[in-house]
Structure 1
Amino acid sequence: MDWRRKISGNLGARYGLALLAAGLAILARFGLHDLLPAGFPYLTFFPAVVVCAYYLGLRPAIVCAGVCGLAAWYWFIPPFGAFDLGTPVLWAIGFYAFVVAVDIFFIDGMRKALDQLEGERERYAQLADSRDLLYRELHHRVSNNLQVAGALLRLQGQGITDVDARHALEQAGERIEVIAKIQRELHDRTGDPAPFRAFAEAILSSAASAAGARVSLTLDGGEAPLHSDQATPVTLVMLESFNNALEHGFGETGSGRVLVDLDQSGETHVLTVRDDGAGPPAGFDPATSKSLGLRIVRAMAQQLGGRFEMGREDGWTVCRLSYVGKVE
């Protein structure tokens, strides 16, 4: 295909190659003349015409067919060495003209169809590249805009004297910035969805560093990417559960173990966040808690059409989110 493209714009080269093909076919026919019985004047000419029709195009193939036909008429159809116009000769020439016309017609049509198909394939590939580029650019801009919005909320909170209002604005700004970070981490550098485990570790490590906590973090599962509709709510649930362990479970020591597992093996995906901290107080009900973090978690679980549970199991505080997974 590349070779054909190089000569497609060079008309002289195409006709020159057609004449070369005809000349080689004539020489080959002379070389086989004594080995062939009578009645095979076109044996080497048909392949030459077919090759020219495919590689050189319609007109060069016609030139090759014409030269080969004249050579066959003069040298290989009796009476030899003359352009006889007898009825048997005209039938032989007519047969040759019919066969090469059919060959050229179908092969040239096939070649044009293949060229058109190749052009369409390249166009679709370029469109796909443009789409991916636009998607990555849009994704990047959305993340940046979210980060700016979060920073503005936090900045606005610094000018408010009411402690509760300032704290609420700061928390809102922090969470918007978290969503921006999630958006950045959801895809790798090529724009492909990143496995949950890859960006979950980066986000949780960043959250632990920001809080000044010493956390032994273990991640299991999550080898597949999250669906784009579910990535943000699932990640927010994980992060809120992790922050809850840092703030309430580990207390002033700021150290402990956190185990994060995302089971994507079945139709229902299960995210589990365990920590060995102090755990919630007796009688604590996460379904009725007024904590902003837990309200966010319940809202995300509802958005996913899933269920969130929190409790103590074998000395661990366990936060578990169950939802029906989607496939990209």
Structure 2
Amino acid sequence: MRHADVDKLTVAVDAALARQRRRIPTGSVRAYTFAVVCALGATLFEAWLQWLDQDASPLIAYYPAVALTALVGGIGPGALVAAVGGLAAWWGFMPPAFSFSLTRYGDKVTLVTFCFVSLLLVGAADYFRRVAKRLEDEEHLRQLAVQELAHRLKNKIATIQAIISIRLRDQPQGPERYPGPACGTHRHGPPH
């Protein structure tokens, strides 16, 4: 991918995330609904991966779901996806299937690692969400200030035009011609 294409993609993703953040307030019912949809989507994707390859990681689909949910909905919804994802993978995708017992040591390590990484993802995504929100708010204030300055400048120009118009109306003969320098500063006539 060329650098320009990456920049365009980055701008498009940033714009889409900003729209979602505006539509889904942090910690709201919408945010938790979004979390449930992300968890369900990740679970279905994980089931499809397990159907394709039994040795696929049982938690791989939940990492992006946790990050996306925390970016859009905040800490609570992100933590919900992490909890639902961990429990769903533990119960449905780690042997023995459909039980909460783990027989392999590697599965225990995988589950603990998922919990730790999910906490990091939720914290980092929430931090970036707050920074992005602050930058959007600052950009909005900057645009308001620019609009206000433009409005004031138009008012000043209109005032100056009105003053000039009144002055020209009072003096219809045009601008006065001022005499040259004051007497005594120039010598008239030939030098002595």
Please, what TM-score do these two structures have when normalized by structure 2? 0.73
Rg larger in structure: 1
Distance 1:92 1:3 in 2: 31
1:4 counterpart (21, 28, 31): 21
Relative to structure 1, the CA distance from residue 9 to residue 32 in structure 2 (aligned partners, 3 Å threshold; closer, same or farther) is closer
1:141 counterpart (147, 159, 166): 159
Relative to structure 1, the CA distance from residue 11 to residue 85 in structure 2 (aligned partners, 3 Å threshold; closer, same or farther) is same
1:156-167 alignment to 2 at 5 Å? Answer: none
Identity of matched residues, %: 23
1:124 counterpart (131, 136, 142): 142
Cα offset, 1:90, TM superposition:
4.1
Distance 2:141 2:65 in 1: 33
Cα offset, 1:293, TM superposition:
6.8
Quick check: 98-107 or 133-142, which moved more? 98-107
Distance 1:56 1:125 in 2: 26
Could you say which structure has the higher helix fraction?
2
2:91 counterpart (74, 98, 104): 74
1:17-96 alignment to 2 at 5 Å? Answer: 17-38=34-55, 40-84=57-101, 88=105, 89-96=107-114
SS in 2 for 1:116: helix
RCO higher in 1 or 2 (8 Å CA, sep ≥ 6)?
Answer: 2
How many residues in Structure 1 have an aligned counterpart in Structure 2?
A: 163
Across the aligned residues of Structure 1 and Structure 2, the Cα RMSD in angstroms comes to 2.7
Distance 1:77 1:87 in 2: 9
Maintained 8 Å contact 2:95/2:102: no
Maintained 8 Å contact 2:24/2:31: yes
Cα offset, 1:150, TM superposition:
4.0
Cα offset, 1:18, TM superposition:
0.7
What does the per-residue CA deviation read over 1:57-102, in whole Å, with 9 as the maximum and x for residues that have no partner? 2211111111011101111223322222779354332200111111
- Report the counterpart of residue 8 of structure 2 in structure 1: none
SS in 1 for 2:70: helix
What does the per-residue CA deviation read over 1:111-157, in whole Å, with 9 as the maximum and x for residues that have no partner? 221221122112111111110110010111122123224434x3xxx
Large movers: runs of 4+ above 6 Å: none
Distance 2:95 2:51 in 1: 15
Distance 1:37 1:3 in 2: 35
Maintained 8 Å contact 2:25/2:73: yes
SS in 2 for 1:97: helix
> What one-letter code is carried by the residue in structure 2 that aligns with 1:73?
W
1:134-283 alignment to 2 at 5 Å? Answer: 134-152=152-170, 154=171, 171=173, 174-175=174-175
Please, what TM-score do these two structures have when normalized by structure 1? 0.45
> What one-letter code is carried by the residue in structure 1 that aligns with 2:154?
R
Distance 2:26 2:51 in 1: 40
Distance 1:9 1:51 in 2: 13
- Report the counterpart of residue 33 of structure 2 in structure 1: 16
Unmatched 5+ residue regions in structure 2?
1-17, 181-192
> What one-letter code is carried by the residue in structure 1 that aligns with 2:177?
L
Could you say which structure has the higher strand fraction?
1
